[in-house]
Amino acid sequence: MPLEITKIAPDTLDSLQDKLLKRSPNNYTEYEETVHGIVDRVKKDGDKALFEMTKQFDGADIDAGNIRVTEDEIQEAYRQVDTKVVEVIRRALVNIRSYHEKQKRNSWFDYSESGTILGQKITPMEKVGVYVPGGKAAYPSSVLMNIVPAKVAGVSRIVMTTPPGKDGKVNPGTLVAANEAGADEIYKVGGAQAIAALAFGTESVPKVDKIVGPGNIFVALAKKSVYGFVSIDSIAGPSEILVIADETANPHYVAADLLSQAEHDQLACSILVTTSEKLAQDVNKEIEGYLKVLSRKDIIEKSLENYGHALIAPDMDKAVEIANTIAPEHLEIVTANPFEVMTRIKNAGAIFIGEYSSEPLGDYYAGPNHILPTNGTARFFSPLGVDDFVKKSSIIYYSRQALERDKDDIMAFAQAESLTAHANSIRVRFDEER
C-alpha cells in the first residue's frame, strides 16, 4: 500500500521520530569536510575561488565582468516568461506583502515621572543575502517569500545569489520574481561557495549581515558553517506534511494534499493521522489512482515508501497529541470541527484549516510565508517573517534622582555577585567628596 497504516502503540511515535530526524542536515556529517574546504577556499581566494568552482560545479564561465546580472538580462527574462505567469507573481506579491506588513513592529519608549525612559529601538538589518537554488529546483515562489519580508522590514540592500546554467544565464522565472519582489543585486553563483561569498565577501560579492533561503545539503551545511560570522534563517530539512482527519474528510482531497509534498523529493514526509481506519484505506486507494497520472510518480513512490505513514489514533485527543509531538512543517486539519482542533495545536509551522485550505495555498498565494521550520523544529522555531530582518536595541535612561532612588539595590546585587567594579560604577556618582 502507498501509506503504511499503523495503529498507534506506545513505541510508535518514538520510532517514527527517530526515522524522521535521520533526514536532518545535521546527520549528513560525511559532507562537512568538503563544505568546510569550499568555505575556507572562498574566504581565502575570493572571486578566484568562485569562478573556478562555478566552472567546476555548474560548467559556466563566470568572471568579474559577468557575475552580476544586468538590467538587459532581467528584461530578457521578462520576454521569456509567460505574461500570465508574471501577472500571477504580481497578484501573489500583493497577498504576501499585505500579510507581512501586519507583522511590522515599531520602536517604543516608556516615560516615567520618576525620571526614567525605557524602550526598544527597532532597526532593520543593512544587508541581507538571499540564496535561491537553480536548475530543476528553481522556485520563483521562494524568491518572493525570502525577499518580501526583508523589504517590508526596511532592509536597505538585498543581495541575491543563484547558480547559472552552463550558458551562464539564470532561470528567467527566478529573475522575474526577484525583480518584482525588489532584489537590489543578483549574482551568478550557487552552492556552498555562494554562502561563503555572502558570509565573508569577495571582490565582486558583498558581505551581508544575514543569509536566508533554501538549498541542497551542501548549502545547508555551508549555512551551518558560517553561522556566527553572519546570521542565518535556519538549517532547513526536507519538506513534510501531516494531515489530521476524521471520518468526515474527503479521501480524494486528503490523498492529493499528501502527494503535494511527496513530490518534492525522496526524503519528503507525508503523514496522515486519523481516527478512521476506513479513511486511511480510502486515502490509499486514491493515492494509487493519482500515481497513474502524476508526472513525478517515481519521486512520489520513493517518498511514500520511505516516509509515508497513516497513523490510526483512538480519538481526536490522541491525534492532536501526535501532531504536537511530530511538530510538522505543514499541518492540515480536515475534521468536523477544524477550528476547535486548531486551538489545541501547539507545534506546527503553518496550519491549514478545512478541506478547501490545501497546502499549496501557503506555498504560492495566500500570503503567509512558506519558509517554515522542519524536522520537529516547529517546537521552538517560527516561519520566516519581518522579525527575522530587524534588530532590537534596548533603550535605558535614568536621571540622577531616579538612579539615587535605586542605587542601593543595584550595588547590593553587584556585591552579591562579587562584582565590585559594577557596584563602584554606581557608587562614584554619589561620592560627595569627589
- Quick one: how far is CA 122 from the chain centroid? 22
Question: Quick one: cell of 102?
Answer: 501586519
Alpha-carbon span 188 to 24, nearest angstrom: 28
Does residue 264 carry a catalytic annotation?
no
Across the beta sheet with 116-124, the strand order is: 108-112, 116-124, 390-398
- Quick one: how far is CA 416 from the chain centroid? 43
Does residue 33 carry a catalytic annotation?
no
Neighbours of 137 (CB within 10 A): 15
Grid cell 470541527 — which residue?
Answer: 337
- Residue among 203, 74, 61, 200 nearest 143 (CA): 74
Alpha-carbon span 190 to 63, nearest angstrom: 14
Question: Quick one: cell of 309?
Answer: 505513514
Q: Which residues touch 109 (CB under 8 Å, ≥6 apart)?
A: 117, 118, 119, 395
Largest Cα–Cα distance in the chain? 91
Count CA atoms within 13 Å of residue 1 on its CB side: 15
DSSP string, 193-231: HHHHHHHH--SSSPP-SEEE----HHHHHHHHHHBTTBE
Catalytic site residue from 100, 264, 309, 330? 330
Question: Quick one: cell of 380?
Answer: 521552538
Q: Which residues touch 122 (CB under 8 Å, ≥6 apart)?
A: 105, 106, 107, 390, 391, 392
> In a 3-state reduction of DSSP, which class is residue 187?
strand
Catalytic site residue from 180, 240, 329, 355? 329
**Beta-bridge partners for 350:** 330
Q: Which residues touch 367 (CB under 8 Å, ≥6 apart)?
A: 95, 96, 98, 99, 100
Alpha-carbon span 180 to 87, nearest angstrom: 10
Q: Which residues are catalytic?
A: 329-330
